[in-house]
Amino acid sequence: MTDKIVRRNSVYVYEAPVRLWHWVNALSITVLCVTGYFIASPPPSMQIAEAYDQFVFGYIRFAHFAAGMILTVGFFGRLYWAFVGNRYARELFVLPVHRASFWRGVLHELRWYLFLEREPAKIVGHNPLAQLAMFVCITLGLIFMIVTGWALYAQGAGQGSYPDMAAGWVLGLIWNSQWLHTLHHLGMWMIVIFMIIHIYVAIREDIMSRQTMVSTMISGHRMFKDDEEA
């Protein structure tokens, strides 16, 4: 038995705005996925009242648009925090692709997930693989969803409206917006897949790695389970 006394040191990693963004984002994305799915495949017809007194699909669309707007505002807020926050706040936006150590880290994490490494790495911020996945699926993924989403919203808002001025250029690129619906829908599935992996890995690493994961996104502090070097 190991009876070591571990001095559980911790680092303040995720500042309050980052944590707030994370959970607001999580909630918006959940609402967006559920309502978005229903927008493409509506629930069975409901006969509650006459059409002028019933707004079921309207509320579903309203929830989608509202969540989308919150997501957009949150994304810009998060982008701002990348400039003024601590070094870990920048990890989502800047990939150190020029550094060999980053790619070695990615390889190490891949080997760890393929059960080829016995010991997990000790990392304060995101591990390199996680950072890569975050950058592709969340930073680029959300930009794609925000831009295509606002372009679709601009169709209803009408030409000359603010959404149209901001994102209408996408309609000029795509021409037939049925294809834009398809791309936006595929984007949703990409984010659903990201969510499955993200939640699984967060819980797994919380148990198996040398640092906390889930509680870090609540308290902001990353606790280390041992005192050994990374």
Partner 1 sequence: MSEIETFYEVMRRQGITRRSFMKFCSLTAAALGLGPAYVPKIAEAMETKPRTPVIWVHGLECTCCSESFIRAAHPLAKDVVLSMISLDYDDTLMAAAGKAAEDAMRDTIEKYKGNYILAVEGNPPLNEDGMYCIVGGRPFVEQLKEAAEHAKAIISWGACASYGCVQAAAPNPTRATPVHKVILDKPIIKVPGCPPIAEVMTGVITYMLTFDRMPELDRQGRPAMFYSQRIHDKCYRRPHFDAGQFVEHWDDENARKGYCLYKMGCKGPTTYNACSTVRWNDGVSFPIQSGHGCIGCSEDGFWDQGSFYDRVTDIKQFGIEANADKIGATAAGVTAGAVAVHAAVSALKRAQKKNEEK
For partner 1, the binding residues (CB under 8 A) are 1-2, 40-47, 51-52, 54-58, 60-61, 113, 115, 118, 155-156, 158-159, 168-169, 171-172, 175-182, 185-186, 188-190, 192-193, 196-197, 200, 204, 207-208
Nearer to partner 1, 10 or 177 (CB): 177
Nearer to partner 1, 78 or 184 (CB): 184
Contacting residues for 182 by C-beta, under 8 A, at least 6 apart: none
Residue 65 to residue 181: CA distance in whole angstroms: 15
Nearer to partner 1, 98 or 160 (CB): 160
The CA-to-CA distance between both ends of the chain, in Å, stands at 23
Nearer to partner 1, 12 or 55 (CB): 55
CB of 59 to partner 1, least distance (A): 9
CB of 134 to partner 1, least distance (A): 17
Nearer to partner 1, 23 or 179 (CB): 179
Cβ atoms of 85 and 17 closer than 8 Å: yes
Q: State the residue for tokens 């005192």.
A: 227
Nearer to partner 1, 21 or 35 (CB): 35
Q: How far is CA 41 from CA 51, 56, 155, 178, in A?
A: 19, 14, 19, 14
Residue 206 to residue 213: CA distance in whole angstroms: 5
CB of 162 to partner 1, least distance (A): 16
CB of 169 to partner 1, least distance (A): 8
Q: How far is CA 122 from CA 3, 31, 87, 205, in A?
A: 21, 34, 17, 11
How many residues are there in the chain? 230
CB of 96 to partner 1, least distance (A): 27
CB of 199 to partner 1, least distance (A): 9
Contacting residues for 13 by C-beta, under 8 A, at least 6 apart: 86, 88, 124, 125, 216, 220, 221, 222
